[in-house]
């Protein structure tokens, strides 16, 4: 199948709808099935982490295995997504820049969803 060839390692900007997921329901299902590693989204690379940036992540929450965050300076947006987003398949969370004052709120959000936190290997 061709889907893994163009979706393997593809990180979709969360603020911009991924065109492959909106062709049709059948095509969307094929793309999701073809992404054996799950869907990956980037936050804050094109736009800030506002409401629209999370709509696509929430819509495909059960299939999202990786989130790449450019920076987390406001804190509440990412924390709320992790707490209430139902990201049950999330395996990888990469944050390039993080405001130190948000650590307590952030770790509280992770604990509320019972993510496993390993400071050396990431969040599981």
The two structure tokens encoding residue 37: 């590693």
What DSSP assignment string belongs to 45-98? SSS-S-HHHHHHHHHTGGGEEEEEEEEESS-HHHHHHHHHS--TT--EEEEEEE
pLDDT band for position 11 (50/70/90)? confident
User: Mean pLDDT across the stretch 13-35?
Assistant: 80
Distance CA 20, CA 28 (A): 7
Those residues with Cβ within 8 angstroms of residue 20's Cβ, 6 or more apart along the chain or in another chain:
6, 7, 27, 28, 31
Q: What is the mean pLDDT of residues 16-34?
A: 82
pLDDT of residue 112: 67
CA distance 75 to 23: 33
Mean pLDDT of 37-62: 76
Q: Residue 44 — very low, low, confident or very high, per pLDDT cuts 50/70/90?
A: confident
For residue range 62-79, what is the model confidence (pLDDT) as tens digits?
Answer: 888 888 888 766 656 777
Does the pLDDT value for residue 42 go beyond 80?
A: yes
- pLDDT digits over 98-111, tens only? 777 677 777 777 77
Given a contact cutoff of 8 angstroms between Cβ atoms, the answer to whether 112 and 86 are in contact is: no
The rounded mean pLDDT for the chain is: 73
User: What's the number of CA atoms in the CB half-sphere (13 Å) around residue 63?
Assistant: 17
pLDDT attached to residue 78: 76
Cα-flanking dihedrals φ and ψ of residue 14, to 5°? -60, -30
Q: Is the pLDDT of residue 124 over 50?
A: no
């Amino acid at each position: 199948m061709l889907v893994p060839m163009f979706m393997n390692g593809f990180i979709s900007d969360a603020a911009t709808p991924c065109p492959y997921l909106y062709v049709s329901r059948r095509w969307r299902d094929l793309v999701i099935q073809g992404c054996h590693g799950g869907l990956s989204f980037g936050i804050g690379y094109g736009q800030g982490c506002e409401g629209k940036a999370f709509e696509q992540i929430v819509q495909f929450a059960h299939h999202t295995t990786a989130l790449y965050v450019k920076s987390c300076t406001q804190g509440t947006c990412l924390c709320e997504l992790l707490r209430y987003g139902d990201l049950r398949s999330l395996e990888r969370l990469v944050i390039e820049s993080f405001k130190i004052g948000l650590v307590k709120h952030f770790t509280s959000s992770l604990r509320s969803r019972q993510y496993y936190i390993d400071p050396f290997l990431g969040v599981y």
